[in-house]
Structure 1
């Protein structure tokens, strides 16, 4: 569990690196972002999290089994 105020990882445990785009098809982060996540500042993590939905929409990876991250302020499905 994340510390109070910490931004949790967007990892969906669906890890697979796209061979051309070099991003994870589960969370849409780059290898560098995945590798440095624990050392990123909260501001850097927020920036990456804010970019993930657009990366998913701009990519056809969502159609190949990736899961588009849900924006933090969107309601959850019931």
Structure 2
């Protein structure tokens, strides 16, 4: 079974205003837990990232 890839782009900078990484748009909890998440949980995170981009791009 293939694992869902991480959205990490190696630009780790947390936005203190909304709690999202400016590189991958995940929260610290999502980043820390990534390796333990199921593929379904990872896909759920991925589905939320596009909506976070306008909020995180500051």
Structure 1 residue ranges without an equivalent (≥5): 65-78
* Equivalent in 14, 33, 56 of residue 53 of structure 2: 56
CA distance in 2 between partners of 1:26 and 1:6 (Å): 21
Q: Normalising by structure 1, what TM-score?
A: 0.68
Structure of greater relative contact order (alpha carbons < 8 Å, 6+ residues apart): 2
Give the count of matched residue pairs.
58
Structure 2 residue ranges without an equivalent (≥5): none
Question: Map of 1:1-78 to 2, 5 A cutoff?
Answer: 4-57=1-54, 59=55, 61=57, 64=58
Supply the RMSD in Å over aligned alpha carbons. Answer: 1.3
CA distance in 2 between partners of 1:51 and 1:17 (Å): 17
| Structure holding more helix per residue | 2
Q: Normalising by structure 2, what TM-score?
A: 0.89
